[in-house]
Structures are given as C-alpha cells and as structure tokens.
Amino acid sequence: ANLRPEGAEAITISVGNFKGGVSKTTTAVTLAQGLSLLGHRVLVIDTDPQGSLTTLFGILPDTEVSEEDTILPLAMGSETSIRYAIRPTYWDGIDLVAAAPVLFGAEFALPARQTQEPGFEFWRVLDLGIDDVRGEYDAIIIDTPPSLSYTTINAFMASNGIIMPLPPNALDFASAAQFWSLFSDLTTELLSKRGLDKEFDFIHVLLARVDSADASSNVVRQWIGQTYAEKVLPVEIPKTAVIGVTAAEFGTVYDVAKYDGSAKTFKRARDAYDSFVSYIEGSMRGVWAK
Ligand code: ADP
Ligand code: MG
C-alpha cells in the first residue's frame, strides 16, 4: 500500500538550514529510517564535507570514505551519474552516498567549471546526476552543509521539497530568516534571467530540538508561526538526551534493537518522529498524485 505508483520517480527532499547544530543531520537520518520502516526504499546523500550523516551510518569519513565515494567526481565532471558512489548501509532498504572532508573541493570545482565551460550550469550537477537512479527509490534524502554553498544550491535544485529544521530560539530563528532571503535572492537571480523556474512541491519547517524548559521558546514559536505560516509542520521534535545517546552509538530512535523502546522519554521522541515521518510520506504521496 505504501508503494510508489507505477512509473513514478523518487521524491527528492533536501534537509537544509544555514545554521549548524539545528538537527539537520538527525532529521535526515531519522526520516530515512522512518520511511524505510514504512516500506520505502531510500537513498541518502551526504553533501556536508563534515560527513556527520555518513558517521551516523557507522562509516568514518576520515578513513573509510575516499573521493570516489562522494559526489566530488560529479562536481568535477569526471562522472555524470551518481551510481558510482552508491553503497549499501547496515540498514536494510537504505543506500548511501557518503561524504568526507575532501568534498569541500566541490566549492572550488563548481565555480571553476562555470567560468571555463560554456553553457555549464553549476547548480544542476546533482539534479542531473541523480536522474539515472530516480526510478529505483521512493525517496532520495539529501543532507546539506550549514551554509549556502554551491553544494547546498545543488541539493536544493535537485529536490522536490525542502525540510528546514528550526529550534525555537531567537538566534536560530534569525539565521533561518537570512537563509531564506539569501536563497530566494540567489535563485531568482540565477534562474529568472535564464527563463527558468524552480518551484518546490513542498517546503516544511520542522520545529526541532524543542526545549520545553526554555521560557523563550513560546515567543519564538509565535514568530515562527507568523513568518512561515502553513509551512510549519504540526509536529515538534522534543529536545531529549535520548537523541544524543542514540547518536553517540551511531543510531537513531528507530534503532530499537539497541535501546529500551518502552522507556518514556524514548517513546516520546519516537512518537514525535513517527508523526513527522507520516507527514512527509503524505507530502510524497501528494507529489505522486499530481
Ligand atoms: P546539524 O546537522 O544541523 O548540524 P545535528 O543533527 O548534527 O545538527 O545535531 C546537532 C547535535 O544536536 C547532535 O549532537 C545531535 O545528536 C543533537 N540533537 C539533534 N536533535 C536533537 C534533539 N531533538 N534532542 C537532543 N539533541 C539533539
Ligand atoms: Mg549536519
């Protein structure tokens, strides 16, 4: 019942925000595992040279990931399909394209090619690179760096939808606002003068790492509601030590084999992610139904 309609392609989702530490990587991995538990086949692409997502899959970016395992050859132009970099993970039904510090080279390769190769569109490299495999997955989830980099733009341009995790505190709110305005200026500048258009099928703001002990969070939650209105998902991910603990063991709240799934804090976090994942699955169905 969860299957992608005949002939339909994977829904591609970027998890992005300017800021580090807002739960982007945690959101990307947990979403991938949650969707997989609903029967979906998922490809996760780590585009952050820090390789945190890669690490959460138990693979060490420094020693276990080489240049050819990352999207760097796509960025450099030595490959045109991402297939070369796809590897299975310990999690049945989830494949991975890893990242490592060497991937930072994409920030030099892409603008250099833009100058040197006539007609080259630096923002479409990943979009074109995943075309070859879109028919083989239900979801392609892209984790992005904490900056509006060339790589982040590639991730967004390849995506049907965006999820922006946002903890309800004042500084994270302020930087998220900058993120959107810079991003929209940039895409308008890039695309409109070429008569192109990029319309996302969905943009979701996820209140993440919500600290119920933080007295300011209610005020900021209101600002977020006013600014992002219907983009804000009706679900919040609580700040809980459980998520830190699972990360320390290279896992998520869905790795129940490792943890006591009945513990109260654990269950609260899991329930929140269950609702989040089912909203996203709804968005995927919405795109397939179009
Ligand atoms: P980003 O990718 O935006 O930098 P991460 O997902 O790496 O953010 O999260 C940053 C840190 O916060 C990590 O140590 C992670 O385990 C922790 N974290 C993320 N979400 C939560 C949460 N809901 N509760 C507690 N800790 C969290
Ligand atoms: Mg991250």
246, pLDDT greater than 60: yes
User: What are the tens digits of pLDDT across the range 90-117?
Assistant: 999 999 999 999 999 999 999 999 999 9
Q: What percent of the chain has pLDDT over 90?
A: 67
Q: How confident is the model at residue 172 (pLDDT cuts 50, 70, 90)?
A: confident
What Rg, from alpha-carbon coordinates, does the chain have? 18
Dist. CA 113–CA 111, nearest whole Å: 5
Give the integer Cα–Cα distance in Å for 250 and 219: 34
Atom 17 in ligand 1: residue holding the nearest Cα:
244
pTM for this one?
Answer: 0.95
Mean residue pLDDT across the chain: 91
Is 20's C-beta closer than 6 angstroms to any atom of ligand 1? yes
Domains annotated for the chain, with CATH where assigned, are: 11-284 (3.40.50.300)
Alpha-carbon distance 53 to 45, whole Å?
A: 9
For residue 47, the CA-to-ligand 2 centroid distance in Å is 9
Pocket test for ligand 1, best of 26, 143, 214 (most atoms within 8 A of CB): 26
* Average pLDDT over every residue of 5-9: 92
Please tell me the predicted confidence (pLDDT) of residue 255: 82
Nearest to 103 by CA among 90, 87, 85, 118: 85
Beta bridge partners of 210: 238
Do residues 205 and 232 touch, judged by C-beta distance below 8 A? yes
Q: Kindly indicate the confidence band of residue 2, based on its pLDDT and cuts at 50, 70 and 90.
A: low
CA of 60 to the centre of ligand 2 (A): 15
Q: How far apart are CA 238 and CA 207, in angstroms?
A: 9
Q: What is the DSSP string of 72-139?
A: HHHHHTS-SSGGGG-EE-SSTTEEEE---GGGGGHHHHHHHHHHHSTT--GGGHHHHHTGGGGGG-SE
Distance, CA of 13 to CA of 228 (rounded, Å): 18
237 Cβ closer than 6 Å to some ligand 1 atom: yes
pLDDT tens digits along 188-201: 776 666 655 678 89
Residue-wise pLDDT for 148-171, tens only, equals 899 999 999 999 999 999 999 888
Residue whose Cα lies nearest atom 15 of ligand 1: it is 244
